[in-house]
Chains A and B, each alone.
Chain A
């Protein structure tokens, strides 16, 4: 009981803090400082239509590299902790296969979901979207496959190679930025092209394709590792 009342006190303290924050909050009316600079300089400087993409991939590109590393470390941690210790789990009992509807629907829809994911990460610099979102959509197609066909095995060599090559290429593109343009992960190593076209904004689409492939394969790996433990 005493624990419960301490918890209540702590939460009430947060209520007080949040209430003060909520009542004293003044909505923003203008862009200031760094946001203003980003929005006004970005179209001429980097040529990406989506300002959020320009910030994530180029202005704050190093943070995104760190983010991708955190995701990679988490995926590695999951794989390491759930490593199979030789024994087969659930190999003895046969499960009822999924229904005809689910199987046909999955076979029909999976390629389109993957295509949609790829569309999202290729168009990341033009519309709302990008590598992380597209990668998550690709991984959801993989989840769909795993739910319908529990015995489905991904080709691990292919997944690992895609993941490693896209991760390494991301860093190489970043280093090319130091050598050929203004700094690490600078997108102006490729011509900026015509504003608003798919082949524009320099290296941003290239980087987002690598990020999308890497995130998609990594999340698929996490899902498959978690699937084995049922």
Chain B
């Protein structure tokens, strides 16, 4: 699971790098999405316990001794929430970009200075 954790960290770094260096707004949204994916992988990897099964207690053994046989269900529930919120936020950001593009016909973030201080 250290590998998955490492992949998650690498994805987060790629996302941060893209967010800091790209000027195209759609690429910035994509960077946020990549960083999000990395974070979700990290949370899942933290809840993993070697040699155990998914937290679905569908046999008598699992029902009685689930505590000794399944991985941590709490991070999985958190990631479920994070994925849905991520989709909603990405859709909203892309909508903002569509509206901005209709105003100025440009996707470059440095063309929008009205709110800059």
Contacts and interface: CB of A to CB of B under 8 A. Distances in A.
A120 to B, nearest CB: 13
A29 interface: yes
Interface in A36-80: 36, 38-40, 42-43, 49-52, 55-56, 60, 63-64, 67, 70-71, 73-75, 77-78
Dominant secondary structure at the A interface: helix
A55 B73 CA distance: 8
Contacts of B54: 128
Interface residues of B, number: 46
B114 interface: no
A226 B91 contact: yes
B84 A132 contact: yes
25 contacts: A4-B21, A22-B2, A22-B5, A28-B48, A28-B72, A31-B67, A36-B67, A38-B74, A39-B55, A39-B67, A40-B66, A43-B66, A49-B56, A50-B56, A51-B56, A56-B77, A67-B85, A70-B84, A73-B88, A81-B96, A82-B99, A126-B58, A136-B87, A215-B84, A222-B91
A178 interface: no
A52 B73 contact: yes
Given A82-B98, A130-B80, A222-B91, A28 B58 contact: no
A51 B73 contact: yes
Contacts of A74: 88-89, 91-92
A27 B49 contact: yes
Interface of A: 4, 7, 10-11, 14-15, 18, 21-22, 25, 27-31, 34-36, 38-40, 42-43, 49-52, 55-56, 60, 63-64, 67, 70-71, 73-75, 77-78, 81-82, 126-128, 130, 132, 136, 195-196, 215, 219, 222, 225-226, 229
B21 A55 contact: no
Contacts of A21: 9
A196 to B, nearest CB: 7
B58 A49 contact: yes
Contacts of A22: 2, 5-6, 9
B62 to A, nearest CB: 9
Contact of B73 (A39, A75, A136): A39
Contacts of A14: 12-13, 16
